[in-house]
Amino acid sequence: MPELSDLTDAVCQYCTHRNTGAQSRCGHCGAPLRARVRRVETAVEHGVTDAVKSAERVVEGASKLESLVTKRHPRVQWLLVAGALGVMVVLAVVAVRSCSTMFVAPDGFGANTVTLPAPLRSAATCQPAPEATGSERCVIAADHSILAGGIAGGRAMSFYAEKPTAERLADAVRKWRAAGGTVLVDGEVFIAIGPSETVRYVDTRTGLRLETGAFTGRAAVRTFLDRSGLAQ
C-alpha cells in the first residue's frame, strides 16, 4: 500500500493533477513533481554537507600543521617576526633619509627660512641655493605690495638666508661692522644697511643670517625692514 507521502508527491502542486509515482513531471502542465524536487533538494543537501566536511578537514589539517611547526620548529615563528621587524626598520630608515635630504616645511620653506617673519615669509618664494652652500635663495615678485612704491627700482627682490654655525654667524657680524654702512640694531639681533643699500640681518636667537639685494636708497631699506617684519 503506498504511503501518504508517495501520494502527495504524485500530485502536481500547480494544477493538482494526479500522476503516477514514476513520473518526474506533471502529465497535465509539465511542472516538476514533488518527488523530483525532493531528489534535487536531497542532492544539494548532500553536496553542502560534503563541502562542509571537506572544509572542516582542511581546517583540522592546518591546525595540526601549525601545532607541528610550533613544537618542532619554534625558530620559524621567530624568523617570521624578525623578518617583519627588518622590513619595518628598512622602511623607517628610508623615510628618515628622505626627510633629512630636504627638510621642507608644509608651506614650502626650508629649515633656514621657516623662521622668517610672517610678512616676509608670505611675500617670498624660496628654494635651495643652486650653489649648494646650504643657504636658500628667495625671491619677492616686483609687483608684490611689500615692494610697493618702487623701493627696489621696479625689479624683483632676491635675498639669501642661511643658518650657519655660531662661529660663522659671529664672524659675519664682525665683517659687516667693519665694512661700513649704517648699523641700525646691534644686540641679539643685528641689522645694518650695507654700503650698496642692502639689508644685512642676523638673529642670534634663531641662528638666521640674511642678506638682500640692493634697494634704491636707505629710506627704501628702512621701509622694507618695517614692511617685512625684520625690524620688529
Residues 203 and 137 in one domain: yes
Would you state the pLDDT for residue 124? 93
Q: Could you tell me the residue range of the domain that residue 42 belongs to?
A: 4-61
Residues 121 and 223 in one domain: yes
Report the pLDDT averaged over residues 178-189. 92
Q: Between 81 and 55, where is the model more confident? A: 55
Residues 138 and 222 in one domain: yes
Of 41, 76, 99, the residue that ends a domain is 99
Residues 52 and 148 in one domain: no
Percent of the chain topping pLDDT 70: 53
Residues 74 and 57 in one domain: no
| Confidence band for 111, pLDDT divided at 50, 70 and 90 | low
| Confidence band for 98, pLDDT divided at 50, 70 and 90 | very low
CB atoms closer than 10 angstroms to residue 173: 18
The DSSP element (H or E) to which 213 belongs, if any, is none
Residues 72 and 21 in one domain: no
Considering Cα of 52, then 57, then 62, then 66, what sign does the dihedral take? positive
Q: What are the tens digits of pLDDT across the range 9-47?
A: 567 666 676 767 666 667 666 666 655 545 545 544 555
Please, is 221 exposed, middle or buried when counting C-beta atoms within 10 Å of its C-beta (0-12, 13-18, 19+)?
buried
Q: Between 88 and 229, where is the model more confident? A: 229
Report the pLDDT averaged over residues 107-112. 58
Most confident of 38-47, 106-115, 171-180: 171-180
Q: Between 228 and 33, where is the model more confident? A: 228
Report the pLDDT averaged over residues 198-226. 95
Q: Between 199 and 31, where is the model more confident? A: 199
pLDDT at 87 over 80: no
Counting Cα atoms < 13 Å in the Cβ hemisphere of 35 gives: 17
Residues 57 and 67 in one domain: no
Task: Count structural domains, the chain.
Answer: 3
**Judging by DSSP bridges, how do beta strands 189-193 and 199-203 pair with one another?**
antiparallel
Distance of CA 191 to the CA centre of its chain: 39
Residues 47 and 75 in one domain: no
Residues 11 and 117 in one domain: no
108 in a structural domain: no
Residues 27 and 131 in one domain: no
105 in a structural domain: no
Residues 20 and 118 in one domain: no
